[in-house]
Amino acid sequence: MINEKRLCDTFMALVETDSVSREEGEVAEMISAMIKELGGEITTDTAGASLNSNANNMVAKFSGTLDLPPMLLNAHMDTVEPGRDIKPILADGVFTSAGDTILGADDKSAIAIILEVLRIIKENSLPCPPIEALFTICEEIGLQGAKKLDFSMIDSRFGYTLDTNDTEGIVNKAPAAVLMKFTIFGKDAHAGINPEDGINAILLAAKAIASLEIGRMDNETTCNIGIIEGGLASNIVPASVTVTGEARSHSDEKLKVLVDNIVESFENAVKDYKEEHQIKEDELPQLEFSVTQDFPRTDVPHDHFVVLLAQRAAENLGRKMTTKRTGGGADANILFQKGIMTGVLGTGMKSMHSTRESISLADMVKTCELLLEIIRIYNEENFC
């Protein structure tokens, strides 16, 4: 039933249409036109205005033929840089870019797959439940589209996000993530003439960072310092520095302990300096910091029907479908927080976020087949 040429053409058209984060407007119009051809009802929110994007989140609703609770299918429309003027190449069944850009399989392979599945259902008059296809903006810059989504547009309480690589795995557990930003204010001075009159903010930050354990804490928890910005010139004692990092964990308790320890390290660096130099509390150096949630964790039970449904479908197709725990985030994290039980399925994309990104047409076909079998089983067995 799957029209491989059509799937190929749809994917090529999508990736040839630029849609880096905040510039999803053109690809959103393309998707909207395809949805209308299929008879879907399109609703959008107003998220784009607050995110400075030229598009909004889009929900395409198909009423279906069966009286069942609706199923959600989700993909994001934006891509990372370098993602402009992409020239996709198909050779020996594998898509790549020309080598100077990403390909955009993340996540346009998912969009093409969802559209192909909807077309197959329509042209073959297949029975199906109500389906809601959610296409988000600004996923690649912190799941911002999903965070700003108007959830009144969605009736589904379960579904699948297509946004990972493994076509024989379903991600049911993903970590919570916290963003941390620390700014230390020191005092400038000439580094060669009177450095003793200055307070080196970078040195204090370095002491704080040196006391930290960075990387993988355990099999559930990670931490990273990603950006250090400060100083004006090599001959000026830096008056300020800003350090930005993140922490992730599948355990909320572990995450809190880790973040508290990191905050304490920066506080101690400033405190110890003041004590050593007998500086008053309200005088320099000073520390300002913020800790904000980037996204909540996902924790779909292994025996939830969303997982079992995908595993049954894979088994029927002669494949495996193992539950997986990931260290990354996806729209599914936000959907889960809102009470929508969401598993993350793979499309076969590889080396995402790089100019080496690729995907095979065969893997995209496999994911189409999996979704169709998921829908068929759900129809016939009322699996939920």
CATH class of the domain whose range is 176-295: alpha beta
Question: Is the pLDDT score of 110 beyond 70?
Answer: yes
Cα 379 to Cα 128, 131, 142, 205, 367, distances in angstroms: 6, 12, 35, 58, 18
Nearest partner of 230 among 214, 247, 244, judged by Cα: 244
Question: Is the pLDDT score of 160 beyond 80?
Answer: yes
Question: Is the pLDDT score of 14 beyond 70?
Answer: yes
What pLDDT score does 77 carry? 98
What pLDDT score does 381 carry? 76
| CB atoms closer than 10 angstroms to residue 232 | 11
Question: Is the pLDDT score of 384 beyond 60?
Answer: no
**Percent of all residues in the chain with a pLDDT value above 70, rounded to a whole number:** 99
Q: Which residues are catalytic?
A: 78, 139
CA atoms of 288 and 272, how far apart (whole Å): 16
How does residue 198 score in pLDDT terms, banded at 50, 70 and 90? Answer: very high
For residue 136 the two structure tokens come to 């988000």
Considering all CA atoms of the chain, what is the largest pairwise distance in Å, rounded to the nearest integer? 82
- Give the residue extent of every domain in the chain: 4-173+297-381, 176-295
Per CATH, 4-173+297-381 and 176-295 having the same topology is answered: no
**CA count, 13 A, side-chain hemisphere, 33:** 8
DSSP symbols for 2-31:
--HHHHHHHHHHHHTS--BTT--HHHHHHH
Q: Over the chain, what is the mean pLDDT?
A: 97
What pLDDT score does 209 carry? 98
Question: Is the pLDDT score of 224 beyond 60?
Answer: yes
Mean predicted confidence (pLDDT) in 246-267? 98
> 4-173+297-381: which CATH topology?
Aminopeptidase (3.40.630)
pTM value is 0.94
Q: What are the residues facing 42 on neighbouring strands?
A: 60
What pLDDT score does 383 carry? 57
Mean predicted confidence (pLDDT) in 209-229? 97
CA atoms of 251 and 249, how far apart (whole Å): 5
